[in-house]
Structure 1
Amino acid sequence: MPGTTRSGARGTTGTARGRRVRAHLVGIGGGHPDQITVQAVAKLREVDVFLVADKGSSVGDLAQARAEILRRHVPGEPTVIQVPDPERDRKPGDYGTAVLDWHDARARAYEEVLAQLDPSSTIGFLVWGDPALYDSTIRVVERLGIDFDVTPGISSVSMLAAAHRLVLNRIGGPIVITTGRALLDDVKAGADNVVVMLDGHLTCRSLVGDGRWSIHWGANLGTDDEQLVAGPLDDCIGEIEQVRAQLKAEHGWVMDTYLLRR
């Protein structure tokens, strides 16, 4: 934001500096139109142009979900620009550097589009879940040097708890929210009540056989294809693997989150 120095904004693009372009980053939950908050609807209706990362045909259902949200909540025919999403190194030697490089590449792609827009435009980004939780959009938009605001959305963590009718924390106890990449290190450090996100490899399989873990798992939460599995980890892991594989085969993608407890 203007006048603010952000230590994490590596490689900030410069040509957008001084623009009057403003961006709304709007959390849209799991993609169902009913999950959009009243505040989010108001922000969507202020947008002149929506910028959407184009991840290819394999995630067509996600594009349809975004389109349905706009159809339901934004009058008329909103302008949507598909921006090709840069490839990310999935097997980097340095994970942190690879992610920062990807953020820079995304920012450059958006900057090319901004250069062609009316400088007084309000642009919009539809962000899955909540923009503040394991999502890169805020970091990418910071690099553009434009003013922006953030509207929270319903996160997959909240949807998981609601779907399973859970209180995430034990009485007076902590809850760790982590990634599949970090799960085993967190468990080794003593975490025993853990929400896991971004785990495309079901790292929890490494804990099978311990006998002390339970799991509450959810995939494509908040959509018509939502799937839930709960019980002892040792007993449930096979069903979770099967359901997950079926969802990916049918839709080309799967977004899952789970709670592990010991």
Structure 2
Amino acid sequence: MKLSPNFYRNRVCLNVLAASHQNARDVWQAAEGYVLVGVLSKNYPSVHAAVSDMREYARLTDNALSVGLGAGDPKQSAMVSEIAALVQPQHVNQVFTGVGTSRALLGQQQTLVNGLISPSGRPGWVNVATGPLSAQAEPALVPVASAIAMLRDMGGSSVKYYPMGGTARLDEFSEVARACAQQDFWLEPTGGIDLANYATIMQIALDAGVSKIVPHIYSSIIDPETGLTRPQDVAELLRVTQQLLK
């Protein structure tokens, strides 16, 4: 698989959605390549249709492609793994229990595969029951350090912490960031992040010492009339990021 050249050069890489090929190209350019462009598997009727279209997204963005579930939908887990095996993208979004399957089907270690864990209401603990069946069962609460160790066992690259609710759970998020830093594991805060709270959330992760952060900023920067992610907002996120990294 081809590594997007700017992906590893910064401590922070944005993750935003694209609603069309041109929108993908526009946001990629607005972020100067420091971005993963999310395309949701949920929007396609079949793996074949997704693979054909996502290959074009990858071509237009130097493979800065992030294969998404769609609001963390566990029912998309298998489809995401099948798509990833054929497209070989830069980034794969997975539920906790789908990480091992994605890594095995990818057949390589370069693609970033995250594992979705959720807030528990108790700082230092997270819910790992985010899979197709487990999400319908009782929450499975484990110490965040244990969740990270399990992700490593399965071939995961990072924690996708969702849904954060913006700044509603910063005490819990701080503990997740601290654990990621201690284990040198990457972190992807997701849910309710916008231009107003972005810097606050990112500063917590940076101060904790997380080595690589991939914040997902989705609906807040999407034009409600066109459904397209606003390139100017992506450019502003890049500007704020550069300020934070000084």
TM over 0.5: no
Structure showing greater relative contact order (alpha-carbon pairs closer than 8 Å, 6 or more residues apart): 1
For normalisation by structure 2, the TM-score amounts to: 0.30
For normalisation by structure 1, the TM-score amounts to: 0.29
